[in-house]
Amino acid sequence: SSLSSFGSLRSETESELANLSESDVDFTALSDPGRLTIHLSGDPHEVTQILALYRSILNWVQSDLPLFQPEVMQTTPVLNPDIASNSSLPALCVMVFLRDDNMHGSERIMLCKKYFEKPPWRFHHSETYSDCLTKISPCVPLDFYYTSENLPLWALRQVHYGKEHIRILLFTNPQTWEQMIRFYKHILTKDAELIRNDFCLFTVHSDIHFDIQFALKRLRDDKQPKFLACATLNVRIRNIGQVLSGLCKVCEPMADNKWVTADHDGNTVVLESMGFVDRSAVDVSKLSLFTETNCEDGFYV
């Protein structure tokens, strides 16, 4: 059924692409396709299946992208594929923006749409757009698909010109909107290319043919993002010591170069330091025991 009350997701318009600024692009960071990834936790067999399922979609843009990584759990979760309530929306979504023209083949969009219509994919909801770019082009609803309430939503959009995109979209609580923008600007160590009253966009990887983007989408006041225990954001940073001072939650070391914290909405975020970590220089006041949320519901594959 349609959940048009979740508001418009006018994320890929000509005006957005025209307003993207490259003045503060960090080309060293943008050259790393693994700068921002999603780590999936669950039963090893199910994780392998879901990674293969996702890889088939990402290959439409670029093969062998490290966008998803496995995190094997010690216990087997209980399957629970029920759809979330109408008052909440899975916090994470992956949107794929494909070119559909003479150069790339006019059948690409239709083939990818058919992929989402086959099991184990299921329809979640549809977004109806309140405005159109032209009167000639009809307002086509954006359909969201999923395999489990504990995994990200997926959606497909068409790019009319320019690069193709893979966008990691994080639905945000309206009460924490400004704080979430500041938090991700801090850990991504860059300004947003685009900020509206309900949308914020970062480019985290840039290639000659495609971009990997991270975006925040503010929900309406009567909606709440649903925390996904099986899907965790992993951000590569240069130095953990430079990031700790701006975190809103306590931070716990996971390994020699990995630390776990959370954003203002409670989404787990893993920080992976790419440089030498001098633990004696780390502000220990920001470190504490971090209660790890186990994935109780597992996957539906």
* pLDDT for the residue numbered 242: 80
* pLDDT for the residue numbered 106: 62
Among 50, 162, 159, 64, CA closest to 108: 159
Residues 18-45, mean pLDDT to the nearest whole number: 68
Alpha carbon distance 156, 146 (integer Å): 12
Between 104 and 188, the more confident residue is 188
* pLDDT for the residue numbered 163: 92
Residues 212-233, mean pLDDT to the nearest whole number: 93
Over pLDDT 90: what percentage of the chain? Answer: 49
Between 26 and 140, the more confident residue is 140
The answer on pLDDT for 44 being more than 60 is yes
The answer on pLDDT for 10 being more than 60 is no
Confidence of residue 6 (pLDDT cuts 50, 70, 90): very low
What does the pLDDT look like over 45-56, one tens digit per residue? Answer: 999 999 999 999
User: 250-279: buried (b, 16+ CB within 10 Å) or exposed (e) per residue?
Assistant: bbbbeeebebbbbbbbebbbbbbbeeebee
* pLDDT for the residue numbered 2: 36
pTM score of the predicted model:
0.78
In this structure, the dihedral spanned by the alpha carbons of residues 217, 223, 229 and 233, taken in order and rounded to 10 degrees, is 10
* pLDDT for the residue numbered 21: 39
What does the pLDDT look like over 265-293, one tens digit per residue? Answer: 999 999 998 865 555 545 444 454 333 33
Span of 33-37, 211-215, 238-242 with lowest mean pLDDT? 238-242
Residue the block writes with tokens 């519901």: 297
The answer on pLDDT for 84 being more than 50 is no
* pLDDT for the residue numbered 35: 92
Helix (H, G, I), strand (E, B) or coil at 277: coil
* pLDDT for the residue numbered 32: 83
The answer on pLDDT for 219 being more than 80 is yes
The answer on pLDDT for 294 being more than 60 is no
The answer on pLDDT for 138 being more than 60 is no
Confidence of residue 238 (pLDDT cuts 50, 70, 90): confident
* pLDDT for the residue numbered 18: 35
Mean pLDDT of the chain: 78
The DSSP line for 7-30 is -----S-HHHHHH---TT--HHHH
* pLDDT for the residue numbered 131: 41
